[in-house]
Structure 1
């Protein structure tokens, strides 16, 4: 549970109502009984019931107490599987992408558009303290760093990779300035301008911008909202076109939040081996699972070194760290040289801070706390959308990560909605920026990672009303 004590208690009772432990219409425990049972003050229980009443989970009846009153609406459908044109397209991203990026830093806007983690966890304070302590030692300041990165960090990355089923030597890891930077180095090594690459569709717009920057062509491969990249469509593309590389976010992808099951990951590796096509795997969300087990990385099933795994701490801790890495395998020397040419090395202090954090139990404790918080925050988003959005709304069912994908009728214009919301101080990510072909204009992405506040909940309710108004327009 997260937040203040009364919010934790409210969340606990919400789960009991949601899962039927307390039936709709049933009388809730009395304030005094709950106070004794949970060992909290009466004022804490009253605050929890007030919050539940505000959220619509209970109603107060004069001289009788509180009753569960949730009217469970039929569950919203999941988004449709994508259907895309099979032909290569020269990558070209729009000005809209840059507008969304700039808007994401507006200080007073209510921001659902950036795929960034929440910064309200204790690890943020620990990071600041570690930065301060290490900077004061001055032992590392003014000392150049190996191009591959400090060994102590690579050692911790190798240890942590075991959680994803990947056994790797620290000597085959190259540190980078984030996961996207790692993917860029991989693309520079594996492709030349004019080459053809395959991406999932919808696809994180940062990857599309990379492809454009390197002068590449792309094929968008259909993606299922629950099981990820279509292997059947990918196989057809590999048979028909000279693909140089495949890029995918297999665990809790951005923007769909979908995950490729382990059996399909194995089948994907068999495809790579059959056609000898390398794959760049962005595993940046893999640690943020809601279930009991971390999903395995595609690289865990790779025996020929065709998978280059990229990741960072940008989604689990803080994007400002700018510390990422690539498990380079057979491409280690080429990627190391490319990094040396591009940037020589990355700043030492953030890497040493990350090495220390990864080497301590605080990181695992943080992940446990973040996973539970994000699971609850996603469920709260579903509740709000179910309450206030049109019944035809479809929403993805991520089992981890920090983003959700919403789909409206085909004639809906999420770009128009984006401009309207922006003017009202609410920021979303319109669907068309997640496709080279400008598809998905009827979809948009929301980030549910930040703590829910009255202002954020009110913004979602307003968003639902604006969507209803747009759909009802003649």
Structure 2
């Protein structure tokens, strides 16, 4: 009975976070007021707070009470709005090795849907062809309704890889050397895939409140854009939440220009407030948007499971998808159906709160280590915590760049930013299992480089002081001694040379008379 009361108290706390009544840094209500409000004893309230503190949700401050973790004192980073479009050439392409190394960093290593019983179910390797089992597709339809997307069973197509959907759509609606508009920062697998397929990505950088739609309209008209790629809610760099008004304006722009689009929506379920935002697709009444979603790293083998809504003009992709045989195994589809059950919201909320708790812990470590040398981009959801470093830290990051390639959970800004200040940004995927080790490696490396730089500066300063001291002593020494030391003859001037001759008018007369 006591354990049930403790759980009720924890559920109440999480509900306050979801509603926004409590947020990071807020002072918790007093123990007596909570005990009275929740109709529990004072001892139960005390033990409930202790459990929350043990799990990292709150922290106790002597003589002050309990506070929600952790309100960072670091200044907020502000992503700048792109003022013009930029065309990406092959020089922005990554090697296959670099793209493979980034895969785990982008997708994380854990998925909230899969428990031990579902892993055994997913291991069933019985093959399946077509658009997927009816039960699995019905589960996807029910899940999409949480995102505001009203779809029908026949429109849902399942695949074992989300990028396969993206690739097929690009092939279907564009040709080589066609221009494709991409809103960045985004999952850089999208721009890299376009470059690999011979398409020309034209990128527009989004700021804190999304992209400039007037610039996007001009770009679509002047660059003859054949396809638009829209990152979904909570996409890179740091859980960018797009306003409903901006979403509606985008959908209206696509209708006005009669341009097809792809919504890449792999993380919209990771909102830190525990609620699902609306999507571009939920406002699409003319079937101009191909919606791609899914879960990556669904099992211990790194398998993915994705879906796309092939309605309207996108139904043309069905034949190529059928021929490519990308349908997941029956075991994976059964695991998905059980994972997307009626408790899906609770599972995802628990997962996002775990990410939030880890983010707060990492913020605290970064603040203690670097102080005001970096700023944080406020995150509203997603897997990533993005940092913007000052000049000194940026130089250290460049020095560590070669070793960063193999560090899971760490993503360099140059991968997803195409602006001049790309090297100032670094992203941490807090859902990766090895993020703590990566963070420790990062802080230790920068600390070592800073110490080395200080030693070099101290050595250079000591050498400079020594040179100045020698020059000062040499300046005070006699000129004869200085000449002997350098094996040069002293340049001694006679006092006569320093005396100016006195003018004598008789000399002019003598010179005149005798030449």
Smaller-chain TM-score bracket: 0.7 to 0.9
Q: In structure 2, do the counterparts of structure 1 residues 402 and 221 end up closer, same or farther at CA, with 3 Å as the change threshold?
A: same
Q: Among residues 99, 106, 116, which one is paired with 2:108 in the alignment?
A: 116
Aligned residue in 1 for 2:126? 141
CA contact (8 A) 1:252 1:401 kept: yes
- Aligned ranges 1:316-355 → 2 under 5 Å: 320-343=302-325, 345-355=327-337
Establish whether residue 192 from structure 1 lines up as the match of residue 199 from structure 2: no
Partner of 2:484: none
Counterpart-to-counterpart distance in 2, 1:370 and 1:271 = 35
Cα deviation, residue 170, structure 1: 1.1
- 8 Å CA contact retained: 2:263, 2:291: yes
Q: Choose which of 36, 40, 43 in structure 2 pairs with 1:36.
A: 43
In 1: Cα distance, 2:53 partner to 2:179 partner: 57
The aligned counterpart of 1:76 is: 75
Greater mean alpha carbon deviation, residues 151-160 or residues 266-275: 151-160
Unpaired runs of 5+ residues, structure 1, are: 24-33, 106-112
1:357 equivalenced with 2:339 (yes/no): yes
Give per-residue Cα distances to partners, 1:434-465, cap 9 Å, x unaligned: 24678612211111124799756644643664
Is the Cα contact below 8 Å between 2:262 and 2:292 reproduced in 1? yes
- Which residues of 2 match residues 130-279 of structure 1 at below 5 A? 130-131=121-122, 135=124, 141=126, 144-146=128-130, 148-224=131-207, 226-279=208-261
Would the aligned equivalents of 2:195 and 2:201 in 1 still touch at CA under 8 Å? Answer: no
**Where does structure 2 lack aligned partners over 5 or more consecutive residues?**
1-6, 15-21, 31-40, 458-515
Q: Distance in 2 between the 1:471 and 1:127 partners?
A: 52
Does the 8 Å contact 1:196/1:217 carry over to 2?
A: yes
**Compared CA separation, residues 255 and 88, structure 1 to 2 (3 A):** same
Instruction: Select the residue among 367, 370, 374 that pairs with 2:351.
Output: 370
Indicate whether 1:403 and 2:384 are aligned: yes
The Cα of 1:400 is off from its aligned counterpart by 1.2
Following superposition, the deviation at residue 95 of structure 1 comes to: 4.3
* Conserved? CA contact 2:181–2:229, under 8 Å: yes
Q: Which residue does the alignment assign to 2:119?
A: 128
> Is 2:31 the partner of 1:19?
no
SS class of match (1:229): coil
- Number of residues of Structure 1 aligned to a counterpart in Structure 2: 432
Tell me, yes or no, if the aligned pair for 1:155 and 1:170 is still in contact at 8 Å. yes
Deviation at 1:35, TM superposition (A): 9.4
Alpha-carbon offset, residue 362 of structure 1: 4.1
**CA shift in 2, pair 1:217/1:392, >3 Å:** same
Distance 1:318 1:369, change over 3 A: farther
Larger radius of gyration: 2
1:391 CA displacement: 0.9
Residue matched to 1:27:
none
Structure 1 residue 50: deviation in Å? 9.1
Question: 1:463/1:364 Cα in 2 relative to 1: closer, same or farther (>3 Å)?
Answer: farther
| Shift, 1:168, TM fit | 0.9
Quote the Cα distance in structure 2 between the aligned partners of 1:97 and 1:438.
Answer: 24
- Alignment pair present for 1:287 and 2:269: yes
**How many angstroms does 1:152 deviate by?**
1.7
Query: Contact 1:100 / 1:429 at 8 angstroms: preserved in 2?
Result: no
Q: Judging changes above 3 Å, is the alpha-carbon distance between structure 1 residues 308 and 320 closer, same or farther for their aligned structure 2 residues?
A: same
**What CA distance in whole angstroms lies between the structure 2 residues aligned with 1:48 and 1:396?**
26
In the superposition, the TM-score normalised over structure 2's length comes to 0.71
* 1:116–1:315 CA contact under 8 A, matched in 2: yes
Q: CA deviation at 1:96?
A: 6.0
SS where residue 115 of structure 2 aligns?
helix
Q: Is the 8 A contact 2:28 2:65 kept in 1?
A: no
Q: SS at the partner of 2:206? A: strand
